[in-house]
Amino acid sequence: MEEAIAKAKTLIEALGYIQRFADKIVVVKIGGSIMDDEAVLRDMLADVVFMNTVGMRPVVVHGGGKAISSAMEQRGLEVQFVKGRRYTDQRSLNVVEHVLCNEINRSMVATIEKLGSNAMGLHTLGTCVLFGEKLFLEDQGLRIDLGFVGQVTYVEAKLLDLLCKADTIPVIAPLARDKTGMKLNCNADTAAGEVAAALKAEKLVMVSDTHGIRRDVNDPSSFIDVLSEAEIRAMIADGTISSGMLPKVEACLRAMGASVPRAHIIDGRFPHSLLLEIFSDRGVGTLIQG
């Protein structure tokens, strides 16, 4: 009986959030090592389906870096990074596109549909909603060409909004086209920030294999549950936030700069972390708010 009462209390706690976020768009970026664990990924997508079932409008953006690196190595292609960005030539782009679209995206759409929601894969081998331009890096006055690597400059928000209203979950691969139709490999974190900004989403949730933000990267006890934009910018300036966390945080700031009220960074390896972050009084990751 006590267990049943506890479950009822949990549902009542969630009720207020369900009512508050009804018909609201929440962009969920899924990446990191959870993409490599089929069971963990399925549980995360079950959370997404739950959100959709109770009236929220989730939009999924996914990564797939490790699977891409593995596929390239199997094909004898060297994986090259320039200042943290994957160099992408034409052969590499073909592998990237195949893995992201034909393998990861298709599998995620199929899983969502098996779990009971409608979903549509959006990418460069079908319907594309991300458009952009080539990305060049600057280093000591020199312009570095990364090949077929891009940055998102436009998101087809009207189509995404229509899909959400049609009770269909958009599942977006981080590939874009430029004005000439050329395909570009984009950073999934950055793409998610642009999608959230374009949709003026209620939330952006960055799901990865890192348990939010720490004041000391090597000290789990220094985890921070709530940060303001000003605090985030100060931590970037002093180097506390760097490396792999930086693009996630920058994506959050980009979204919030476009009127997205809140952003979250959570660890997807923790069971039902997405639901706990959204539907409970005490979340499990770092909340960033104005």
Structure confidence by residue, pLDDT tens digits, 20-69: 999 999 999 999 888 888 999 999 999 999 999 999 999 999 998 788 88
Tokens 């782009």 -> residue = 93
pLDDT, greater one: 106 or 213: 106
Q: Provide the pLDDT for residue 83.
A: 67
Q: What is the pTM of this model?
A: 0.93
Q: Provide the pLDDT for residue 11.
A: 79
Specify the length of the chain in residues. Answer: 290
Structure confidence by residue, pLDDT tens digits, 165-205: 999 999 999 999 999 999 999 999 999 999 999 999 999 99
pLDDT, greater one: 133 or 211: 133
Q: Provide the pLDDT for residue 282.
A: 62
268 has which bridge partners?
none
CATH topology of domain 16-289: Carbamate kinase (3.40.1160)
- pLDDT band for position 281 (50/70/90)? low
Per cent of the chain over pLDDT 90 is 63
Phi, psi for residue 148 in degrees, rounded to 5:
-90, 60
Which of 181, 183, 182 lies closest to 173, judged by CA?
183
| Per-domain boundaries in the chain | 16-289
pLDDT above 80 for 6: no
264 has which bridge partners?
205, 287
Q: Which tokens is 287 given? A: 């909340």
CB distance 226 to 286 below 8 Å: yes
| Distance (Å, whole) CA 240 – CA 217 | 8
